[in-house]
A = this chain, B = another copy of it.
Amino acid sequence: MVAPPVPESAQLPEELSDRHPEALLPTPTPLHLLDANGREVDSRLSMPEEDVLLDLYRRMVVGRRFDAQATALTKQGRLAVYPSSRGQEACEVGAVVALRPQDWLFPTYRDSVALVTRGVDPMETLTLLRGDWHLGYDPYEYRVAPQCTPLATNTLHAVGLAHAATVKGEDTVALVLLGDGATSEGDTHEALNFAAVWKSPVVFLVQNNGYAISVPLAKQTAAPSLAHKGIGYGMPSVLVDGNDAAAVHVVVREAVERAATGHGPTLIEALTYRIESHTNADDAQRYRDDAEVAAWLERDPIDRLERYLTARGLLGEDARAAITAEAEGLASRVRAGMNADVEVDPMSLFQHVYAQPTLQLRAQQQLLTDELLQEAE
C-alpha cells in the first residue's frame, strides 16, 4: 500500500480524508516559516501580513515582560506560585491572535501569557496565583474559560461549548490549550473523539514543551509525534514549529477557519520548550541539562521574529521603543497592583456555592462571623 500524497493545504475537504485517510497525518517534520535565525524558509504555509507579524512580535515582547514580572513577584513572595510561559510565547500569542472576538479560549495554568494576549486584565490574571480567589476575571467578558489545573479536563469543556454553538447556530470556535503530558489523560482522548464525531468547531493546540514537570516526552509517548494521534479520531493534524510565531499563527488561523466553516476540529502539535522551571516551586536542574536549555535559548521565538522583522526593515527604533514602553508600562502596573494588599472578604467563602445560599451555609457563615467578631474584641 502506498499512501497518496498529502494535499498542499490543510483546508482538507472531508471527502478527501474519507478516500485518503493518510491525508489526516501530520507532516514528518514540523511546518515552519522562519528558521532559528529568522530567515524565511520554503513552506507550504504562506507568510502572514506584515501588520500581523508586527502585532505578534509586540505581543510576545509584552507577554514575556509580563511573565518575567510575575516570576519576579514569586521571588518577593507576592505570588503564591507562577507557572511561567517563557519560551512558549510563539504558541501562546500566535494562537490567541488567530481567534476572533466571538471565539473562546480554554487555557491551562501555564497560559497566563495567552490570557494577557487575549486582553484579560493582567491583575485579574494573577488573582489565582496571588491566592486571592480561584479566578479573577469573568469568563464571559473575555470569552476565556478559567485557567484549568486538572489536566486535560478543559478539552471536554471546549468541545461542549463548541458543540453548543453548533446547536444554537452560532459562529463560535473554541481553542483549547494543553500540554504534552496532558495528552496522556483519558479526557484528552474522549474530547478528541467527541469533537471528531460531532464535527465540533474546536482547535486542539498541544504545546509540546518536552516535559510534564520532570517527565520527558519519551516517557510520555512512543508515538512518532503527538499529532499522529489525529488520524485515530479521523481528525486532521498538524505538526508545527512552536517557536515560530508566524507558523503557529497561520496554522491555528487555518484551523479556526476550517472549524468555523463546518469542517470540524483540528489537532495541532506545536514543538516548543519551557525555559523556566515548571513553576517557581520546581527545580528543573534536577531533571534536565543546562546545555539543553541553552540550545533552546538559541531558538528563541522573539529573537527569531525580531531578526526577520529587522532584516525586512519592519522594526524601526520607534517601534521598538514603543513596544518596550508598553511592556514596561504593563510591568510597572503589575508591580504596583501586586504590591498593594488586597483584602478578601471571608464572607465570600459562602457565596456562589449555590445560586442561593443554603440554610446550612448561612449557619456556617454566622459561625465564622461570630468568630471574627470575637477575635476583633
Task: Point out residues on A near B: beta carbons under 8 Å.
Answer: 1-3, 5-6, 17-18, 21-22, 24-25, 27-28, 184-190, 193, 196-197, 199, 219-225, 228-235
Contact = CB atoms under 8 A, between A and B. Distances in A.
Contact of A21 (B5, B186, B228): B228
Nearest to A194: B184
A199 B5 CA distance: 31
- Total copies of this chain within the assembly: 2
Contact of A231 (B28, B186, B232): B232
A1 to B, nearest CB: 5
Given A22-B3, A22-B25, A189-B186, A232 B232 contact: yes
B234 A232 contact: no
A196 B184 contact: no
A193 B228 CA distance: 13
A340 to B, nearest CB: 44
A23 to B, nearest CB: 10
Contact of A229 (B187, B219, B221, B232): B232
A223 B219 contact: no
Given A2-B2, A186-B185, A223 B233 contact: yes
B232 A223 contact: yes
Contact of A1 (B5, B188, B225, B231): B5
Nearest to A220: B197
Given A197-B222, A221-B234, A224-B234, 17 more contacts: A1-B5, A2-B5, A18-B224, A21-B225, A21-B228, A24-B224, A196-B221, A197-B220, A199-B222, A221-B233, A222-B233, A222-B235, A223-B231, A228-B231, A229-B229, A229-B233, A230-B232
10 contacts: A2-B2, A2-B3, A21-B228, A25-B231, A184-B190, A184-B193, A185-B190, A188-B189, A189-B190, A196-B221
Nearest to A1: B6
Chain B CB within 10 Å — which of A21, A184, A219, A228 has the most? A228
A287 to B, nearest CB: 17
A1 B29 CA distance: 10
Contacts of A22: 3, 22, 25
A268 to B, nearest CB: 14
Contact of A27 (B1, B17, B25, B197): B1
A25 B5 CA distance: 15
A228 B235 CA distance: 11
B222 A231 contact: no
